[in-house]
Amino acid sequence: MSLKKIIGLFDNKNYAKLALSKSKIYKKNRPFPHISIKNFLDKNVANTLFKKFPIYNSKKWIDHENYGRNKNTNFKKSIDNELILPQEIRAFLREVNSRQFILFLETLTGIDGLIADPYYMGGGCHISKEKGYLNIHKDFNWHHKLQLHRRVNALFYLTPDWKKEFNGSLELWSKNKKIKEYAPLFNS
Protein backbone atom coordinates (compact mmCIF):
# COMPACT_ATOMS: atom_id res chain seq x y z
CA MET A 1 0.00 0.00 0.00
CA SER A 2 1.26 3.42 -0.86
CA LEU A 3 1.40 6.38 1.46
CA LYS A 4 -1.34 7.94 -0.70
CA LYS A 5 -3.95 5.78 1.11
CA ILE A 6 -2.81 7.17 4.49
CA ILE A 7 -2.16 10.80 3.53
CA GLY A 8 -5.51 12.57 3.51
CA LEU A 9 -7.19 9.60 5.21
CA PHE A 10 -9.55 11.82 7.22
CA ASP A 11 -10.51 13.95 4.21
CA ASN A 12 -13.15 11.30 3.58
CA LYS A 13 -16.57 12.84 4.31
CA ASN A 14 -17.66 9.59 5.96
CA TYR A 15 -15.63 10.60 9.02
CA ALA A 16 -17.63 13.83 9.37
CA LYS A 17 -20.85 11.80 9.11
CA LEU A 18 -19.53 9.29 11.65
CA ALA A 19 -18.68 12.07 14.12
CA LEU A 20 -22.18 13.52 13.79
CA SER A 21 -23.88 10.14 14.17
CA LYS A 22 -21.84 9.12 17.24
CA SER A 23 -21.73 12.45 19.07
CA LYS A 24 -24.77 11.85 21.30
CA ILE A 25 -23.52 8.39 22.27
CA TYR A 26 -20.09 9.83 23.09
CA LYS A 27 -21.58 12.53 25.32
CA LYS A 28 -23.95 10.17 27.18
CA ASN A 29 -21.42 7.41 27.92
CA ARG A 30 -20.27 6.99 31.52
CA PRO A 31 -18.25 7.19 33.73
CA PHE A 32 -17.20 10.07 31.46
CA PRO A 33 -17.85 10.88 27.79
CA HIS A 34 -16.15 8.34 25.52
CA ILE A 35 -16.80 6.00 22.61
CA SER A 36 -15.43 2.84 21.03
CA ILE A 37 -15.76 2.60 17.25
CA LYS A 38 -15.09 -0.71 15.50
CA ASN A 39 -13.56 -0.82 12.00
CA PHE A 40 -12.61 2.84 12.28
CA LEU A 41 -9.97 2.87 9.57
CA ASP A 42 -10.01 1.51 6.06
CA LYS A 43 -9.15 -2.19 6.42
CA ASN A 44 -6.12 -1.93 4.11
CA VAL A 45 -4.78 1.05 6.05
CA ALA A 46 -5.17 -0.78 9.38
CA ASN A 47 -3.41 -3.86 7.98
CA THR A 48 -0.56 -1.75 6.60
CA LEU A 49 -0.10 0.03 9.93
CA PHE A 50 0.00 -3.34 11.72
CA LYS A 51 2.59 -4.74 9.30
CA LYS A 52 4.80 -1.64 9.62
CA PHE A 53 4.48 -1.34 13.41
CA PRO A 54 7.85 -1.92 15.12
CA ILE A 55 8.22 -5.35 16.74
CA TYR A 56 8.39 -5.61 20.52
CA ASN A 57 12.11 -6.42 20.62
CA SER A 58 13.08 -3.46 18.44
CA LYS A 59 15.66 -1.17 20.01
CA LYS A 60 13.48 1.81 19.00
CA TRP A 61 11.18 1.37 22.02
CA ILE A 62 11.49 3.26 25.30
CA ASP A 63 11.19 0.70 28.10
CA HIS A 64 8.83 1.72 30.93
CA GLU A 65 10.18 -0.64 33.56
CA ASN A 66 9.36 0.71 37.02
CA TYR A 67 7.67 3.74 35.51
CA GLY A 68 5.52 5.73 37.94
CA ARG A 69 3.03 3.55 39.86
CA ASN A 70 3.43 0.73 37.36
CA LYS A 71 6.29 -1.01 39.14
CA ASN A 72 7.66 -4.18 37.56
CA THR A 73 5.66 -3.69 34.38
CA ASN A 74 8.58 -3.83 32.00
CA PHE A 75 6.19 -5.17 29.40
CA LYS A 76 5.06 -1.69 28.27
CA LYS A 77 7.13 0.29 25.82
CA SER A 78 6.55 3.43 23.78
CA ILE A 79 7.94 5.53 20.95
CA ASP A 80 7.28 9.26 20.86
CA ASN A 81 9.93 10.18 18.29
CA GLU A 82 8.36 9.92 14.85
CA LEU A 83 11.79 10.18 13.15
CA ILE A 84 12.55 6.55 14.00
CA LEU A 85 9.21 5.18 12.81
CA PRO A 86 8.40 3.71 9.39
CA GLN A 87 6.99 6.21 6.88
CA GLU A 88 3.49 4.71 7.05
CA ILE A 89 3.30 5.08 10.84
CA ARG A 90 4.70 8.63 10.62
CA ALA A 91 2.10 9.52 7.99
CA PHE A 92 -0.69 8.13 10.18
CA LEU A 93 0.51 10.07 13.24
CA ARG A 94 0.54 13.23 11.17
CA GLU A 95 -2.98 12.50 9.93
CA VAL A 96 -4.29 12.20 13.50
CA ASN A 97 -2.72 15.59 14.14
CA SER A 98 -4.32 17.05 11.01
CA ARG A 99 -7.03 19.68 10.80
CA GLN A 100 -9.46 17.09 9.41
CA PHE A 101 -9.02 14.71 12.34
CA ILE A 102 -9.20 17.55 14.86
CA LEU A 103 -12.49 18.65 13.26
CA PHE A 104 -13.69 15.05 13.53
CA LEU A 105 -12.86 15.05 17.26
CA GLU A 106 -14.46 18.47 17.82
CA THR A 107 -17.67 17.32 16.12
CA LEU A 108 -17.69 14.03 18.02
CA THR A 109 -16.96 15.52 21.44
CA GLY A 110 -18.57 18.95 21.17
CA ILE A 111 -15.31 20.50 22.40
CA ASP A 112 -14.25 23.44 20.24
CA GLY A 113 -10.70 24.67 19.88
CA LEU A 114 -8.88 21.34 20.23
CA ILE A 115 -5.18 21.42 19.44
CA ALA A 116 -3.18 18.34 18.45
CA ASP A 117 -0.11 17.33 20.41
CA PRO A 118 2.88 17.39 18.04
CA TYR A 119 5.12 16.16 20.88
CA TYR A 120 3.12 12.95 21.50
CA MET A 121 3.50 13.39 25.27
CA GLY A 122 1.92 10.27 26.70
CA GLY A 123 1.05 9.40 23.11
CA GLY A 124 2.77 8.12 20.00
CA CYS A 125 3.09 4.36 19.68
CA HIS A 126 2.75 1.92 22.56
CA ILE A 127 3.26 -1.81 22.80
CA SER A 128 3.11 -4.46 25.49
CA LYS A 129 3.55 -8.19 25.51
CA GLU A 130 1.66 -10.99 27.20
CA LYS A 131 0.87 -10.16 30.83
CA GLY A 132 1.68 -6.49 30.22
CA TYR A 133 -0.56 -4.04 32.04
CA LEU A 134 -0.95 -0.59 33.45
CA ASN A 135 -2.36 -0.06 36.90
CA ILE A 136 -5.56 1.90 37.25
CA HIS A 137 -4.53 5.51 36.77
CA LYS A 138 -5.70 8.92 35.67
CA ASP A 139 -3.87 10.39 32.69
CA PHE A 140 -2.21 13.74 33.22
CA ASN A 141 -4.40 16.66 32.26
CA TRP A 142 -1.84 19.48 32.06
CA HIS A 143 0.50 19.49 29.07
CA HIS A 144 3.52 21.39 30.37
CA LYS A 145 5.11 21.82 26.93
CA LEU A 146 1.99 23.33 25.30
CA GLN A 147 0.75 24.96 28.52
CA LEU A 148 -2.73 23.60 27.77
CA HIS A 149 -5.21 21.21 29.33
CA ARG A 150 -5.30 17.75 27.83
CA ARG A 151 -8.95 17.10 26.93
CA VAL A 152 -9.18 14.10 24.59
CA ASN A 153 -7.28 10.84 24.09
CA ALA A 154 -7.66 8.78 20.92
CA LEU A 155 -6.49 5.16 20.98
CA PHE A 156 -6.13 2.99 17.86
CA TYR A 157 -5.69 -0.74 18.38
CA LEU A 158 -3.64 -2.77 15.92
CA THR A 159 -4.03 -6.15 17.63
CA PRO A 160 -5.14 -8.82 15.14
CA ASP A 161 -6.20 -12.21 16.47
CA TRP A 162 -6.76 -10.82 19.97
CA LYS A 163 -8.48 -13.29 22.30
CA LYS A 164 -10.37 -12.57 25.51
CA GLU A 165 -8.05 -14.81 27.53
CA PHE A 166 -5.20 -12.43 26.69
CA ASN A 167 -6.83 -9.87 29.01
CA GLY A 168 -5.54 -6.36 28.39
CA SER A 169 -8.87 -4.64 27.97
CA LEU A 170 -9.24 -0.91 28.50
CA GLU A 171 -11.16 -0.44 31.73
CA LEU A 172 -12.97 2.75 32.65
CA TRP A 173 -13.41 3.29 36.39
CA SER A 174 -15.29 5.67 38.62
CA LYS A 175 -14.07 5.87 42.18
CA ASN A 176 -13.34 2.22 43.09
CA LYS A 177 -15.70 0.60 40.60
CA LYS A 178 -15.14 -0.58 37.03
CA ILE A 179 -17.94 0.88 34.87
CA LYS A 180 -16.98 -0.24 31.35
CA GLU A 181 -14.48 -2.46 29.62
CA TYR A 182 -13.37 -2.46 25.99
CA ALA A 183 -11.37 -5.22 24.34
CA PRO A 184 -8.41 -3.98 22.30
CA LEU A 185 -9.92 -5.27 19.07
CA PHE A 186 -8.06 -4.77 15.82
CA ASN A 187 -8.97 -1.52 14.05
CA SER A 188 -11.05 -0.08 16.87
DSSP state at residue 105: H
Q: What is the pLDDT of residue 98?
A: 97
SS3 for 136? coil
Q: Would you state the pLDDT for residue 134?
A: 75
Q: Per-residue pLDDT tens, the chain, 188 aa: give them.
A: 578 889 999 999 999 999 999 999 999 999 999 999 999 999 999 999 999 998 888 888 877 664 555 444 557 788 888 899 999 999 999 999 999 999 999 999 999 999 999 988 888 888 887 777 777 777 878 888 888 888 999 999 999 988 888 888 899 999 889 999 999 999 99
Rounded to a whole number, what is the distance in angstroms from the first to the last CA of the chain? 20
pLDDT of residue 74: 54
- Stated pTM of the model: 0.90
Residue 67 has a pLDDT of 52
d(CA 185, CA 158): 7
Q: How far apart are CA 179 and CA 85, in angstroms?
A: 35
DSSP strand pairing (125-127 vs 142-143): unpaired
Looking at residue 115, what is its pLDDT?
A: 95
